[in-house]
Amino acid sequence: MNPSMLRLLNRAQSLKSLKYIHARVLIDVSLASSDLVLNMFLRLYERFGSIQYAHKLFDQIPQPNAFLWTALIHAYVGNRSYLEALYLLSEMWEDSVLPSNFTLASVRKSLARLERVRDGKTVYGLGFKCGFCSDLIVQNAVIDLFMRCGEVDLARRVFDGMEEKDLVSWNSMISGYGHNGRANLARKLFDGMLDRNAISWTSLVQGYFKAGDIKEAKMLFDRMTTKDLASWNVMVSGFLDVGDVDSAQSVFEAMPASRCWDVELDDFRVL
DNA sequence: CTAGGGTTAG
């Protein structure tokens, strides 16, 4: 794929211009049927929210590989079509295309949102049989899924068994413990971390709110040097959740103006 | 060539 084509694709600002580029690419059959190019178009159709076109394109591919299946599944998950995404995974399996670690990671959100722990265990059990039992991407997905389904101990077992962990592994545990009301366990992991980021801190603060330990939440927030928009929002909504409107108000007012601008810019972008 | 953790979910 030549660089000018890449430049053209990344300049596509709308579904309309993307379709136009696609039409031009279709003239060259060898180019249009390259897995790389197909994958790019699937991802771009997803970016512009056109699952229909992504699926239409996918249906014309004679033997889609795991990359292309993953792109389509990812598009459906992004579109919050969780059941459809799971269905695609089973179709993929029936077509004897083995999932990649990224396929399994893509389907995680579907399983979590539908609270399909049992199916999750089946899916990741198969994934392990495909050789992904010590794959960081898959293990992180499993941890997150288990935590979101309340399977705290199972998540911990996976975490403890990992040869290599990254920030996402640690933060998923901290966030997961927090959501399950286990702020103390989250804190233990947090204290043992070598490097933390804003997500580690914010997740723990949120965990303390969830556990009803407002004092500790506030103390931690004050110690935080890496506050970002989400950190401030967790504080505001944390106070609101316990009915402390005054504290919520003062946190809101203490928020740097630059953060407020972030919010407004985001909102304007939607309009 | 791909994914993922904290706000925010009805």
Note whether A128 and A36 are same-domain residues: no
pLDDT mean over A142-151:
97
A202 touches strand B (CB under 7 A): yes
Note whether A23 and A110 are same-domain residues: no
How many whole angstroms separate alpha carbon A255 and alpha carbon A73? 39
Pick from A14, A36, A62: which residue ends a domain?
A62
Pick from A147, A165, A183: which residue ends a domain?
A165
Phi then psi for residue A119, to 5 deg, are -60, -35
Q: Which domain holds residue A185?
A: 166-271
What's the pLDDT score for residue A176? 98
Q: CA-to-C1' distance for A177 and B4, Å?
A: 17
pLDDT mean over A239-248:
95
A110 touches strand B (CB under 7 A): no
Please check the confidence at residue A86 and state whether its pLDDT lies above 70: yes
Q: CA-to-C1' distance for A121 and B9, Å?
A: 26
From residue A165, alpha-carbon distances to A99, A128, A220 in Å are 22, 17, 24
Quote the mean pLDDT of chain A.
92
Q: Which nucleotide is nearest to A69 (CA to C1')?
A: B2
A232 touches strand B (CB under 7 A): no
